[in-house]
Amino acid sequence: MLKLAIALSLVLVGCGRKATQADCDLILDHYVETQLRAMSITDPATIDKRKAEMRADMKDEVRDCVGKRVTDGMLACVKSAQTNAEIDKCTH
């Protein structure tokens, strides 16, 4: 969870545009999905429940993410990442 907080708080600085709530939710959601997939959890209801729990647990970090600089390339990288380590690389 600490890595996720860092990823959300360190969304790329520099060129690009300001991250929207949807951008930050996408990062969090994909992070949760890859984490659960690594644990062989694929049940959609379980994944949705965990996403809701993480949004509640990390509401401050997600709120701080909104407005940070993102690029379309970084978001595409996050979407295609297969592991949380790959997501971390995308957001740094």
Mean pLDDT of the residues in the chain: 86
For the residues 44-53, what does the mean pLDDT come to? 96
- To which H or E segment does residue 40 belong? none
For the residues 25-34, what does the mean pLDDT come to? 93
pLDDT confidence bin for 83, thresholds 50/70/90: very high
pLDDT for 34 equals 95
- Please check the confidence at residue 35 and state whether its pLDDT lies above 90: yes
pLDDT for 16 equals 81
Choose the weakest-confidence range: 15-19, 22-26, 54-58, 83-87: 15-19
- Please check the confidence at residue 57 and state whether its pLDDT lies above 50: yes
- Please check the confidence at residue 10 and state whether its pLDDT lies above 80: no
Q: What is the DSSP string of 5-74?
A: HHHHHT---SSSEEPPHHHHHHHHHHHHHHHHHHTT---HHHHHHHHHHHHHHTHHHHHHHTTSEE-HHH
